[in-house]
Amino acid sequence: MDDWILEPSVHSLNTVNPVRETVSSIKLPTDFPKPTYSLALGDPSYYPDFAAHSFVVDAAVEALRSGQGNGYTDSLGYGPARETLARAYSYDNIRLTKDDVIIDIGGTGAIHTILQVFLNPGDNILISSPGFPLYKTMAQNLNAEAITYNLKPYSNWEVDLEDLERKVTPRTKMIVVVNPCNPCGSVFSKEHLMDILNWAEKHHVCILADEVYHGMTFGKPHYPLGSLTDTVPVFTVGALSKIFLVPGWRCGWVLIYDKYNKCEKYRPAINKIKNMLLHPAPFIMQAIPKIYENLPENYFAEVMQKVKERAEVVKNKLADVAALNTGSPEGSLYCMVAIDFINMDVKSSVEFAQKLAQEEGVVIMPAEAFLSHSAFRIVLCHPIHVIEECMDRIKSFIQRHTV
Amino acid sequence: MDDWILEPSVHSLNTVNPVRETVSSIKLPTDFPKPTYSLALGDPSYYPDFAAHSFVVDAAVEALRSGQGNGYTDSLGYGPARETLARAYSYDNIRLTKDDVIIDIGGTGAIHTILQVFLNPGDNILISSPGFPLYKTMAQNLNAEAITYNLKPYSNWEVDLEDLERKVTPRTKMIVVVNPCNPCGSVFSKEHLMDILNWAEKHHVCILADEVYHGMTFGKPHYPLGSLTDTVPVFTVGALSKIFLVPGWRCGWVLIYDKYNKCEKYRPAINKIKNMLLHPAPFIMQAIPKIYENLPENYFAEVMQKVKERAEVVKNKLADVAALNTGSPEGSLYCMVAIDFINMDVKSSVEFAQKLAQEEGVVIMPAEAFLSHSAFRIVLCHPIHVIEECMDRIKSFIQRHTV
């Protein structure tokens, strides 16, 4: 007889990624006669054209070799790096200091810290659909909820403000706004961002601005939310991950834009959480001042030119496919393609993705993986000839499945 | 009128480090006439004699330069590193596979993952006094409790098994055993570890074996708890941090010793938590196979010889001080010195530490910082002449305060 009772905690079992099963149902055939491709992996470092630049890697190697970054540091992050980030992300309306910057373990860690201090059990945050399921997973871990609001697929994935109005509750603590947008590839106009800020002001809801793709546009200006308001507290999440093409370095940050100190009580709470979970590797943080100092003026333009070329291929190749709408991708590393199933014999983007993988050897991420439907996301990082080949296969697939 | 209601979550405010105030009350004078020293900082990388060795740093630089470790990887950790660790920490009684190894964000992250899956609100873990307050902070974050059991200061800091018996409750999920011991510098005998295992078996309590100082002894064998039992599930926490003198690299691990798979339900729960919080930097994990492959045979002996020399200085210098008892330090990087206040005009180790800092310019960590009392911890990493000087000052202090 063995009566050890060994049951994991309820909240750990609730820490579910809601789209994991969907994603794992999309399988490439084992014996496909041509090369197979995945346009699903949102990790730029995986693609040869998007390798980290040497000014980034050199800065980390130098810090590692110095021997000064092997130990513990301030649990809110290495001071000079926080100063660099405060300078880099200060705007005309608001100057950040080191104290407004917390360096965290990736963008993921930064989001986790914010949700830890904002959410009591039963509270909720509003997240976009399509959007990032991690927010839902983390909210569930805290016995809280992530409620989705719609983005409008045929209006360049702008926020459906009427839907927001329907979804907000008295327990809503934050709205998450991802801009430039993963997964949609959209970049919001200043006017649209002002509409969102006015909505937040009206409902007294703070903003979590997920700006992990800060400045990554094809030319359209990116307005950081912190630069547009004095009165709505904005907690901005950034990271080295995507802007410097090193997601594995696990170094992100929280920037607190709160001119009138409405959120002063959150600061000691953040300290407590960070004293528990600590900081990313100090030598990586030590690289930050050097990285920003050595940042070539045309760095983002060069990186984004490559993404834009790929977006153009997708747009041009799919322009004459009636069932698909690429919209006008404007930034980040993605294009979200809306599907109209009306004349097709497949009826969901999951089915679309499953059959496309089996029949054409191309993996795309269905919108269900982003808490949405009737669309799919393409990562714009493969070599251009691969993207061309994949678009041709998608076109064949659509033709074959149009009834 | 401004009626934004902005209150941080209750659990974030409960994420208290119970000893922070104690620690910050110990201040060096600003105008001390001689050099001042802190024997309190438990970060070996800070001390010139304990810099990371080149086979460790070179492995990380090589991985960083390769460009293959900048992206995301398996959320349980980089596969080949998990295989290396499985081989390194398999024992005659039990062979680990990659699936028994989770690489986490430092020892801290590893502990956090285990507590997340073990503790429901209202549950408790047993931790030692003296011990590591982080466990208490993390338990409180989960609305659970950390209950302290005593180590015996005059029996080489062995576990007081009778006290354990008094402290266990029906909601006790784990006992934390730190060996080699931070803060006590002790290394448990095989017999004593068997007593602890028998106790755990009797109460059906799993073990969290904090073996972050694995193998770091002055010669006495270190018996990993996983090597001594087939029937008590042992979750061992290790890390690169202390054994390779790079605590800032934030790379630790959980090893699951569970021969009869009693804890099988915990594995998917761990996966869920790790899918949320992800892994440490992949290039650091990629260094692990190389580090273990290139590990010089005499590496630990060399490092620990330096620690032992410092421990001898402390022991010899304090041997004739009746109020102090150094015991016989046996490993880790610390010595815990018990204080007998009976003939002294200071009455607590906090007061002792505060006055020692003010009067002698020497900072030591009072046992209150480790949830205990009547003792202090010395870090054995400073150059020997500094330790000698500090011991002389401690002796002067004791003389002056003996009544």
B320 burial type by CB count under 10 A (0-12 exposed, 13-18 middle, 19+ buried): exposed
Query: B42-86 pLDDT, tens per residue?
Result: 899 999 999 999 999 999 999 999 988 888 889 999 999 999 999
The pLDDT-based confidence of B1 (bands split at 50, 70, 90) is: very low
What are the start-end ranges of the H helices in B69-212?
A: 79-88, 106-118, 134-141, 161-167, 190-203
Which residues of chain B are in CATH 3.90.1150.10 domains?
A: 10-51+298-401
The answer to whether B341 faces chain A, any CB pair under 8 Å, is no
A105·B9 Cβ contact <8 A? no
A70·B247 Cβ contact <8 A? yes
Mean pLDDT, residues B334-352: 96
Residue B305 has pLDDT above 80, yes or no: yes
Query: B204-252 pLDDT, tens per residue?
Result: 999 999 999 999 999 999 999 999 999 999 999 999 999 999 999 999 9
> For residue B55, what are its two tokens?
């086979």
> For residue B111, what are its two tokens?
């502990």
Q: Which CATH architecture fits A18-51+298-401?
A: Alpha-Beta Complex (3.90)
Q: Which residues of B fall within a CB distance of 8 Å from A47?
A: none
The pLDDT-based confidence of B3 (bands split at 50, 70, 90) is: confident
Query: A58-75 pLDDT, tens per residue?
Result: 999 999 999 888 888 899
What pLDDT score does B100 carry?
Answer: 98
Q: Which residues of B fall within a CB distance of 8 Å from A45?
A: 67, 70-71
Residue B338 has pLDDT above 50, yes or no: yes
> For residue A343, what are its two tokens?
């004349």
Question: Chains A, B: CB contacts under 8 A, how many?
Answer: 223
- List B residues 171-230 in contact with A (Cβ-Cβ < 8 A): 204, 206
Nearest CA in chain A to B137: A276
Q: What is the distance between the alpha carbons of residues A392 and A187, in angstroms, rounded to a whole number?
A: 27
Helix (H, G, I), strand (E, B) or coil at A156: coil
Report the candidate in B382, B376, B384 with the shortest Cα–Cα distance to residue B324. B376
Query: A218-246 pLDDT, tens per residue?
Result: 999 999 999 999 999 999 999 999 999 99
Of A153-157, B164-168, B235-239, B316-320, the least confident: A153-157
Which residues of chain B are in CATH 3.40.640.10 domains?
A: 54-293
Residue with tokens 């547009």: A228
Query: A301-312 pLDDT, tens per residue?
Result: 999 999 999 999
Q: What is the distance between the alpha carbons of residues B185 and B218, in angstroms, rounded to a whole number?
A: 10
What pLDDT score does A1 carry?
Answer: 41
Query: B90-114 pLDDT, tens per residue?
Result: 999 999 999 999 999 999 999 999 9
* Residue count (chain A): 403
Cis ω on the peptide bond leading into residue A289 (within 30° of 0)? no
Report yes or no: B77 and B86 within 8 Å, Cβ to Cβ.
no
Residue B322 has pLDDT above 50, yes or no: yes
Mean pLDDT, residues A171-198: 97
Residue A151 has pLDDT above 60, yes or no: yes
Nearest CA in chain A to B232: A4
Mutant choice from B46, B272, B274, B291 vs A, greatest count of A C-beta within 10 A: B272
Mutant choice from A111, A277, A291 vs B, greatest count of B C-beta within 10 A: A277
Of 3.40.309.10, 3.90.1170.50, 3.40.50.800, 3.40.640.10, which CATH number belongs to A54-293?
3.40.640.10
Residue with tokens 């980034």: A56
The answer to whether B1 faces chain A, any CB pair under 8 Å, is no
Q: Which residues pair with B127 in a beta bridge?
A: B148
Residue type, B78: Y
Q: Which residues 6+ apart lie within 8 Å of B65 measured at CB? A: A57, A61
Query: A43-63 pLDDT, tens per residue?
Result: 999 999 999 999 999 999 999
What pLDDT score does A18 carry?
Answer: 79
Q: Which residues 6+ apart lie within 8 Å of B337 measured at CB? A: B314, B318, B324, B325, B326, B375, B376, B377, B378
Query: If you classify domain B10-51+298-401 with CATH, what class do you get?
Result: alpha beta
Mean pLDDT, residues A17-31: 87
Q: What is the distance between the alpha carbons of residues B360 and B106, in angstroms, rounded to a whole number?
A: 35
